[in-house]
Structure 1
Amino acid sequence: MKNKIVVVGSTNMDMVVKTGHIPKPGETVLGGTFFMNPGGKGANQAVAVARLGGDVTFISKIGNDIFGKQSTKIFDDEGVDIGGIYAEVNSPSGIALITVDDKGENSIVVAPGANAFLNADNVQSAFDKYPQASVLLVQLEIPMETVEAAINYARSKSITVILNPAPMNKAVAKFLDKIDIITPNAHEAEALSNHTITDVDSAIVAAKKIQQQGVKTVIITLGEEGAILLTEDEVHHISTPKVEAIDSTAAGDVFNGAFAVALSEGKSLKNAVTFACRAAAIAVTKMGAQSSIPYRNEILLTYFD
Structure 2
Amino acid sequence: MNGIVTVVGSLNLDRTIRVATHPKPGETVLGSGLTERPGGKGANQAVAAARAGAPVRMIGRVGDDPAGRRYRDALRHHDIDTSAVLLTPGHPTGTAHITVDDHGENTITVVPGANAALTPHDVTQAAAAIRTAAVLLLQLETPLPAVLQAAHLAAEAGVRIILNASPATTLPDELIQAADLLIVNEHESRFLPTTARSVCVTLGARGAQWGEDISRPPRVEAIDTTGAGDSFAGTLAAHLAAGTPAPDALQAAVRAAATATTWPGAQEGELPP
TM range (shorter): over 0.9
Q: Does the 8 A contact of 1:3 with 1:132 survive in 2?
A: no
The root-mean-square deviation of aligned C-alpha atoms, in Å, is 1.5
Shift of 1:2: 4.6
Q: Does the 8 A contact of 1:250 with 1:292 survive in 2?
A: no
Q: Runs of 5+ in structure 1 lacking a partner? A: 193-209, 294-305
Q: Is 2:157 aligned against 1:157?
A: yes
Q: Is 2:262 aligned against 1:285?
A: yes
Name the aligned partner's letter for residue 95 of structure 2: I
- Aligned equivalents of 1:262, 1:171: Cα separation in 2: 26
How many residue pairs match? The answer is 270
- Aligned equivalents of 1:23, 1:271: Cα separation in 2: 40
Question: Cα gap change, 1:258/1:108 in structure 2, threshold over 3 Å: closer, same or farther?
Answer: same
Shift of 1:162: 0.1
Deviations 1:127-178 (A, max 9, x none): 2256421100000000011111111110000000000011111134552111
Q: For CA contacts below 8 A with separation 6 or more, give which structure has more relative contact order.
A: 2
Normalised TM-score (structure 1): 0.85
- Aligned equivalents of 1:81, 1:44: Cα separation in 2: 14
Q: How does 1:88-127 map to 2 (within 5 A)?
A: 88-127=88-127
Q: How does 1:212-291 map to 2 (within 5 A)?
A: 212-213=194-195, 215-230=196-211, 235-291=212-268
- Aligned equivalents of 1:286, 1:24: Cα separation in 2: 26
> The residue matched to 1:146 in structure 2 has which SS?
helix
Name the aligned partner's letter for residue 197 of structure 2: K
> The residue matched to 1:109 in structure 2 has which SS?
strand
Q: Runs of 5+ in structure 2 lacking a partner? A: none
> The residue matched to 1:170 in structure 2 has which SS?
coil
Normalised TM-score (structure 2): 0.95
- Aligned equivalents of 1:239, 1:130: Cα separation in 2: 32
Higher percent of residues as helix: 1
Judge which range, 26-35 or 216-225, deviates more. 26-35
Question: Cα gap change, 1:187/1:172 in structure 2, threshold over 3 Å: closer, same or farther?
Answer: farther
Name the aligned partner's letter for residue 167 of structure 1: P
> The residue matched to 1:191 in structure 2 has which SS?
coil
Residue identity over aligned pairs, in percent, reads: 40
Shift of 1:72: 0.6
Deviations 1:73-121 (A, max 9, x none): 1011111001111111021110010000111110000000000011111
- Aligned equivalents of 1:89, 1:31: Cα separation in 2: 33
Residue in 2 aligned with 1:52?
52
- Aligned equivalents of 2:155, 2:31: Cα separation in 1: 49
Shift of 1:292: 7.0
Shift of 1:126: 1.0
